[in-house]
Structure 1
Amino acid sequence: ATPGSVGTAGVANVTNVDDASSAFTNPAGMTYRENDEVQAGMEVLIPVNKFDSDIATAGGSDGGNAGDPAVIPGLFVVKGLNENLKLGFSVAAVAGGGLDYGENFVGRYQAYKAALQTVGAGPSLGYRINDMLSIGAGIYMLYTTFNQKIAVNQSFFGANDGTVHFDDIDDISYQWTAGLTFQPTDRLLFGFTYLSEADVDLSGDLKTSGLQGAFQNLLGNADSITVDFDLPESFNFGLRYRATENLTLLADSNYQRWSQFSQTNVRIDVGPAGETIVTGFDRDWKDTWHVGGAFKYDFGENHLVAMGISYDSSPVTNKDRTADLPIDEQFRVAAAFGKENPIGLSYSVSG
C-alpha cells in the first residue's frame, strides 16, 4: 500500500503515474517512471462487522464483531527496457476478507465462519506511443483459498447442530488488464483501465462432524467439494489535474459487473459410493458503480499529504444479503501522510 492509493481511498489508482505500483493499478502509468523502481507496501485492515440479530428467526447470539484483522502486503517492480518501454511485475491482494461469528451465531445455518483470500502475481508492460498517449497491459495468476463452516439444523431429529466445513479449498486462475493514459496538457491527465472476468474453480476437502440421520446418509461420506464462481470484470476511468505546483486534484469512477459473481455452482463427491451431488444458487447480485474524489498536496522535502472520499453502490439488496458475504454500499473517507527517506521507504497513516 502507498499514500497515493490508501490515502485517496483508491481514487488515484487509475491515474497512478507516481510510483511502481502503477505496474498493478494501470500499466500505462509505468511509462512515467524515469528510473527502475522496487516498491513494497503493507496495509493493516481492522474491520468491524456486526449482525442485527433482531431480524433472525433462529436462536443464538449476534456474533459480536465478526471481522477478522488482516495484513495485506504488496510488491511492485518497474524496469525500463528502453526510453519508451517499461516492464513491470506485481504481487498484490486482489480480494479477500474473513468473518468469525462463533458457533452460536443466529445465522449459523448460512455460515458462521468464512475466509476468502485472492492474491495476484504477474508481469505487465507499458509503452509510450507519444508525448500524450501511453498504453499498457498485464496478466496475473490468481491464487484463491476459501474456508467456510456452516451449521446444519438437526432439531427435527432431536439432535444438536452438525457442521459442514470447506477446508482450504483452493484454485489457480488468470485475469488480465489493459490500460491507457492520455495527457493533453502538462496539467491534465486521463486514465482508463479494463480488468477482465476471472473463472475461479475452488476444490478441496469437505469435512463434516456431528451429522445425524438423513444428513449423515447424504454427506457423511463426502470427501471433496468444488465451488465455481466468477470474479467480475470492471471498467475504470479517472482524471488528475495539477492545479498548482503543489496541489493535485483527482477523480475516478468505475463500473463493476458483480452480476457475473452472482451464480455459484457446487459439486460434492461422495467417497466409496462414487456419487456426485450437484447444486447451485444465485445470490441475486447486481452490477455496481463507483465515484470518488481526492487531492494530494506536496509540502516539499519528500512530505506528502493526501485525502480522498469515494462511494460504491451495493451489489445486493437487504433481502438477499447473506451472512457469509454481508456486503452493502460503501462510503470511504481516507487520509494519509507520507514521507520518503533516502532508501525509498515511505510511511503513511490513513483512516
Structure 2
Amino acid sequence: MHQKHCVESAHRQSSAWLRAAAAAALVGSSTTALANGLALNEQSASSAGTAYAGRSSSALDASTIYGNPAGLIRLRRSEASGGAAVLAVSDDISDVESTASGTNKGDSVPTAVIPFAYLSSPIDERLSVGLGLYVPFGLVNDYENTFQGRYFGSYSKTQILTLQPTIAYRLNDHVSIGGGPTLNHFDAKLQNNLATGNLNNGKETLVTIKGDDTAVGFNIGLLVDFNEATSWGITYHSKVSYELKGHTTLSGAPDFLDLNEKYKAKVDLDTPESVDTSITHHFDDRWTGYLGTTWTRWSRFRKFEAVNSNVSPLGQAAGLGQVGEELNWHDTWSTAIGASYQLNPQWLLRAGYAYDPAPVRNADRSLRIPVANRKSVTLGAAYSPNSDVTIDAAYGYLWDSEASVNQSNDSGLQPSYSAKFKNSASGLAVQLTYRY
C-alpha cells in the first residue's frame, strides 16, 4: 500500500512539475540583451550607439533591413555590412529562502556572441533589394549544478535565427516603403532537476526538454522625409507562429515510476509582433537627434500548452498527455533617446539612453525570467577612413531594478525558492560596412 501511494503521489507531482517545466522551456530564461523579455536588440552596431533610438527613421547602412526595410532606398551604392555583439551579464542573488540545500553563485548567463550580416544593392533610383541574417530573440541561462533553485531551472536556451530577403521602393521624393518575408528557425532546450531523492536512494531526476521549428513571418516599413532635416519612420515586425517539435526526456527517475522514457512533445507558440517608430532630426551639419519608441505584444505569452505523445497509460492517467501553464505576460512600450556628433569627416560620435519595462509582473515573475524594469546607456563611434569603408563600434551598459522571485512547491518535487535578483550587463558591438 505504501509503494502504491508513493507511485500515485509521484505521478501527480511529476505531472504538475512537467507543466511548469514545459512552459518555461520555451518561453523563459535569464535575459542577456539590451532589450527585455526574450527580445534581442543586437542586430546593428551603428544603431547601438544611440541605444537604438532612431532605428526606424535613420538608414545608416544595410542593417536598415531590420531597422526599417524602406531605408534601403537611401543607400546609393551596394553594401556588405556585418559584425557581432559580445554580451557579459551579471545576475547577483541575495535574500535567498528555500527548503532545499545548495548554492546561489549567480552570474548564470555565459558570455554570448550575437552575429549579424546584411547585403544591399540599388536596382535603380526607385528600387533596392537586400538580404539580412540576424538573431531577433535568444537567451541563455546556465546555473551551477548545486544551485539551490535548480528545481525551477538549471539550464535554459532559446534562440531564433532569421533570414530576411527585402525589397524597397520609393513612392515619391518624400515617401518610401519596404519589406520582406522572414524565415525563422527556433531552437530551445531546458533542463530542470526533480527532488526525487527520498524515492530514489538520494538521486535526483534530471528532465531535459528540447524542441525546434522553422516558420515564416514578415517585416514592413514606411519612411517619410518631411524635409531635408527631419524624417519619420515606422516598422512592423510580425508575429511568427511556431509548432515546436521535440522530446521530453527523464534521466535517473525512480524505476518503479515507469517514467524513464522519452516523450515526443509538440508546442504551439507565437513570438510577439512589435511596432517601432522614431524621428530623426538634423539640427545642423554636426548634431543629429533621435527619439523612438517600440511597442511589443508580449501578451501573446499569456498561456502555454504542450502536447506529449508516446506517454504510457500510467502517464496518461497522471495527466502527462496535455499540459498547460498560465504565464500572464503583458504588452510593453520601450523608449529611447540619442544623439550623434560629426567630429570631422572621418569620425562620428554617438550616445543614447533607453528605458524598457519588464513584460512580467511581480506576482508572475519566475526564476527563469528574473527581469525587471530596465535602463541602459550607450556610447558609440563610427570611423570612415574613406567613402568605401565604415567601422562602427558601440558599448552599452544596462541595469535592472531589483527583482523579487517567489516560487512555491506546487508539485511536491520542487522545494520552494525565493530570492532577490539584481541584473546588469555590458555589451560591445562592432560592425564593418563596405560599399562597392
TM-score (norm 1): 0.93
Shift in alpha-carbon separation, 1:2–1:229, aligned structure 2, 3 A: closer
Pairing partner for 2:167 from 111, 125, 140: 125
Residue of structure 2 in register with 1:346 after alignment: 391
Residue of structure 2 in register with 1:230 after alignment: 270
Q: Distance in 2 between matches of 1:312 and 1:350?
A: 18
Q: Secondary structure at the match of 1:31?
A: helix
- String of CA shifts for 1:220-278, please: whole Å, max 9, x gaps: 22232223321101122100000110111000012111010232222222367796711
Pairing partner for 2:361 from 306, 317, 321: 317
Q: Secondary structure at the match of 2:56?
A: helix
Question: 1:325-336 maps to which residues of 2 (within 5 A)?
Answer: 325-336=369-380
CA contact (8 A) 1:221 1:270 kept: no
CA contact (8 A) 1:85 1:125 kept: yes
CA contact (8 A) 2:329 2:359 kept: yes
Q: Which amino acid in the other structure matches residue 161 of structure 1?
A: E
* Deviation larger for 199-208 or 280-289: 199-208
1:337 aligns with 2:381: yes
* Deviation larger for 154-163 or 23-32: 154-163
Which fold has the larger relative contact order, with Cα–Cα distance below 8 Å and residues 6 or more apart in sequence? 2
Consecutive unaligned residues in structure 2, runs of 5 or more: 1-42, 397-436
Q: Distance in 2 between matches of 1:170 and 1:254?
A: 28
Residue of structure 2 in register with 1:298 after alignment: 342
User: CA shift at 1:213, angstroms?
Assistant: 5.8
- String of CA shifts for 1:152-187, please: whole Å, max 9, x gaps: 1225526432110124x2110122111101111110
Q: Distance in 1 between matches of 2:367 and 2:282?
A: 44
Q: Which amino acid in the other structure matches residue 267 of structure 1?
A: V
Residue of structure 1 in register with 2:84 after alignment: 42
* Deviation larger for 338-347 or 134-143: 338-347
* Deviation larger for 45-54 or 27-36: 45-54
User: CA shift at 1:300, angstroms?
Assistant: 2.3
Question: 1:209-220 maps to which residues of 2 (within 5 A)?
Answer: 209-212=251-254, 216-217=257-258, 219-220=259-260
Shift in alpha-carbon separation, 1:227–1:47, aligned structure 2, 3 A: farther
Q: Distance in 1 between matches of 2:236 and 2:308?
A: 35
Q: Secondary structure at the match of 2:91?
A: coil
Matched pairs, number: 348
CA contact (8 A) 1:148 1:166 kept: yes
Pairing partner for 1:82 from 112, 121, 124: 124
* Deviation larger for 257-266 or 121-130: 257-266
Pairing partner for 1:202 from 227, 239, 244: 244
Q: What value does the CA root-mean-square deviation take over the aligned residues?
A: 2.0
Shift in alpha-carbon separation, 1:120–1:49, aligned structure 2, 3 A: same
Residue of structure 2 in register with 1:260 after alignment: 300
Q: Which amino acid in the other structure matches residue 191 of structure 2?
A: K
Q: Secondary structure at the match of 2:110?
A: coil
Q: Distance in 1 between matches of 2:203 and 2:68?
A: 52
Pairing partner for 1:177 from 219, 224, 227: 219
Q: Distance in 1 between matches of 2:357 and 2:255?
A: 44
Shift in alpha-carbon separation, 1:57–1:259, aligned structure 2, 3 A: farther
Higher helix share: 2
CA contact (8 A) 2:152 2:192 kept: yes
User: CA shift at 1:145, angstroms?
Assistant: 1.0
TM-score (norm 2): 0.75
- String of CA shifts for 1:185-226, please: whole Å, max 9, x gaps: 110100111111111222223322111267x42x32223222
Consecutive unaligned residues in structure 1, runs of 5 or more: none
Residue of structure 2 in register with 1:248 after alignment: 288
Q: Which amino acid in the other structure matches residue 272 of structure 2?
A: P
Q: Secondary structure at the match of 1:23?
A: helix
Residue of structure 1 in register with 2:327 after alignment: 283
CA contact (8 A) 2:87 2:113 kept: yes
Question: 1:73-112 maps to which residues of 2 (within 5 A)?
Answer: 73-112=115-154
Shift in alpha-carbon separation, 1:25–1:58, aligned structure 2, 3 A: same
Q: Which amino acid in the other structure matches residue 267 of structure 2?
A: V
Percent of matched pairs sharing the same residue: 25
Q: Distance in 2 between matches of 1:50 and 1:229?
A: 31
Q: Secondary structure at the match of 2:299?
A: helix
Q: Secondary structure at the match of 2:228?
A: coil
Residue of structure 2 in register with 1:162 after alignment: 205
CA contact (8 A) 1:15 1:26 kept: yes
Q: Distance in 1 between matches of 2:131 and 2:267?
A: 29
